[in-house]
Structure formats: C-alpha cells, structure tokens
Amino acid sequence: MKIKKLLVLLILVGLSVSLFAGCRQPTPPPVEKIKIGLCTDVGGRGDKSFNDSAIRGLENWAGGLKYVPGGDYQTLTPEEYQKIITDEAPDLVGRGIKNLNIQPVIIESKANEDYVPNLKNLADQGCKLVIGVGFMLTDAMKEVAPLYPNTYFMLIDGVVDPLPSNVVCYVFKEHEGSYLVGALAGQMTKTNKLGFVGGVDMFLINRFEVGYRAGVKTVNPNAEVFTAYTGNFTNADDGQRLAKTQFDLGADIVYHASGACGLGVIKEAEQRGEGYFAIGVDSDQDYIAPGRVLTSMIKHVDYATWLAINSVVNGTFKSEIVALGLKEGGVGISPLKHTKSIIPQAALDKVEALRKMVVEGTLVVPESKEQLETFVPPQL
C-alpha cells in the first residue's frame, strides 16, 4: 500500500514538473543585427570634418556605439547617447533620431583606386546598405551598384546618373549654410577683408564660396573677400599656406571648405592669436582651437547617413535624390560654444532673421557665380 502511494506521489510530482516546464517561454535566439557598411574617401577617419561626420551618423547615432582606437566598440548608455545628439546636433533635436541597433562595418580608402574594391568588399560581407562618402566615389558607385541588385547603396554628395533602383543619393544645400556664416563674418570683421580657402575648385566647393560671399555682401557690401583653392582635401600644410597669404593681405577671418586642408587654416588662425579667426566646415570644428574658430558651417552628413540607414531598417528605402538644406536640417551653424560671448546679440539676431527667410522661402541664396553677380540682398 505504501509502495502504491509512493508511486502515485512520484507521478504527481512528475506531472507538476512537466506542467511547469511547459509554461516557461523558450529563450528567443539573439536577433542578428543588420550590417551597414561605409566606405570613406581618401580623407578617412580622423579628418574631423566630412568623413568623421558620416562615421558619427553610422557608429554613434545609428549604432549606439563609441569607437575605441584599435577597432573595438563600446555601447553607449542611454544618457551618453542623448548627450551626443544634444551636444553635436542641438538643431536636430526633435527630428526623431534614435538608436537603430545596427552593426557598422567601415573600410577606409587610401587612394582613388580603392573605391571599387572597397564597395564590393562591403557588399560581399553581407551589408544590407553600403554607403559611399563623397562625390569622388560617384563613378565607383555607378559601376558597383548594378552588380549587387539585392544590396542597397547610398552616395553622399554625388549623383549617379542614370540612378539605379537600389541607390539613393544625398546632396546638400551648402550655399545656404555658408550664407549664414558669411553674414556673421561680414558683421564681425574689423578690417573689412575676409578670406575663403576651398579644396578642389569645382561646382560643389564653389557653392560654399558663393553662399559665403553672398552672406558677406548682404550685411557688409564694402567688404573684400579673397578666395583660393588648395587643389586637394588632404594636405593641411596647403590650407595653412593659403590662409597665411590671406591673413597677410589683411583678412581677419578665413572660412574653409577644404576637408583636412582646413586643419591648416585653423592652425594658422590659432598661431596668429587674438583678432584672427577661422570658420570651420562640415562638423563643428570650434573645439579644435577654442576662441579662434568663430563658428562652423555644419553640414549634417551624420543626419543624412542616419536617415538612409533608418529607411533600410524600417523597410522604406527609396531610390531618389534627396537635397537637404536649412529647412530640412541638412545644414546650419555651430552652437558657438567658445565665441558667443564676443559676438554682439544684434549680429546673432540678424543671422537668425536671414535663416528664417531662407527656411520660409522668401530668400533664395545664390549657388553659382553667375547667380551671385545678379543677387540682390534682402533689406533687413
């Protein structure tokens, strides 16, 4: 009798264990992150400008990751993530930027010949989106994208013509952001002489120059603007040499749109000290020489990168040409963390008034030298 009771008890215990086990939910397998690839131009990581902005959009904004020299990543805490957005892009707060939890894969190009094999390498690794940073990758993108119809591609600052169905191109209205820094420089100059140092003398960089000159003309039609081009985007010594020439001619503020060459422009302003300023470009470069960089024309390559990645993650990718200006959050002016105290409020108010006019469409900023010749500045 006791043996029967014991058997019944063991059966009941077994059933209870089985029922309990059946109620537990199985542990779901880890979700594989979407791979997003990025190929830099020859400027590479560390240019503190164009490439770094795209990398920031990929690693920090879309990946929620912080790069550790050597190739590793650390996961950003929610607090760190939010601080990056508010510190680096306060003008984009409220546009829905969030961590997309992707896996970044980055290949740096050392020469133009690297572009095609690098793009192919990223596609072969299974990247769902492959990003080409800069107009210099246009021909490579045109060659590679049709070979991988199941991979999405993004080209920054260039247009593939004809546009394949798996390619999106993001371009910027650089002239609009340059207009604002020109309007600020035109009010802050003490010598009525200003400078501009570009990289390669071409239509894209000409837009920076034209917008800048239009901004100066709007607030200070008597000011003279010196212009020069380095012919490259990588040699800081070339940038410094041209900035030195312009400062020697009497300029007290020099704006650059020259990639890594601009580090030389900033260095020259820093060495000259009080009374001399550089204006940075693409990323917020004010921190490079605090107090000697008047402001920076922000070109939100980071935001464009995030937008393209977001479209792939959400399944809304569309082959098109997207142009981002002041209204769309593509360009802007830095927060002036190091120089706001020396800029009169009246000057800032005038820049803000001009910004609103551009956003509202009542002011059209010229983007070519021909348009600049006939440009009639608005009355403020």
Contacts of 146 (CB under 8 A, 6+ apart): 164
Q: What is the pLDDT along the chain (380 residues), one digit of tens a residue?
A: 444 554 444 444 444 444 434 445 555 556 689 999 999 999 899 888 889 999 999 999 999 999 998 879 999 999 999 999 988 899 999 999 999 999 999 999 999 999 999 999 999 999 999 999 999 999 999 999 999 999 999 999 999 999 999 999 999 999 999 999 999 999 999 999 999 999 999 999 999 999 999 999 999 999 999 999 999 999 999 999 999 999 999 999 999 999 999 999 999 999 999 999 999 999 899 999 999 999 999 999 999 999 999 999 999 999 999 999 999 999 999 999 999 999 999 999 999 999 999 999 999 999 999 999 999 999 88
174-298+344-373 and 35-172+302-324 share a CATH fold: yes
3-class state of residue 23 by DSSP: helix
Is-above-0.85 flag for pTM?
A: yes
Residues 286, 296 contacting (CB under 8 angstroms):
yes
The strands making up 193-198's β-sheet, listed across from edge to edge, are 224-229, 193-198, 253-257, 277-282, 293-299, 331-333
Residue ranges of domains in the chain = 35-172+302-324, 174-298+344-373
Q: What residues are paired with 104 via a beta bridge? A: 36
Fold of 35-172+302-324: Rossmann fold (3.40.50)
For 256-281, b/e burial (b = at least 16 CB within 10 A) is: bbbbbbbbbbbbbbbebeeebbbbbb
The strands making up 103-107's β-sheet, listed across from edge to edge, are 103-107, 35-39, 129-133, 152-156, 167-172, 321-324
- Residue 352 neighbours by CB distance under 10 Å: 13
Sign of the Cα pseudo-torsion (148, 309, 356, 265, in order): negative
Report the top-level CATH class of 174-298+344-373.
alpha beta
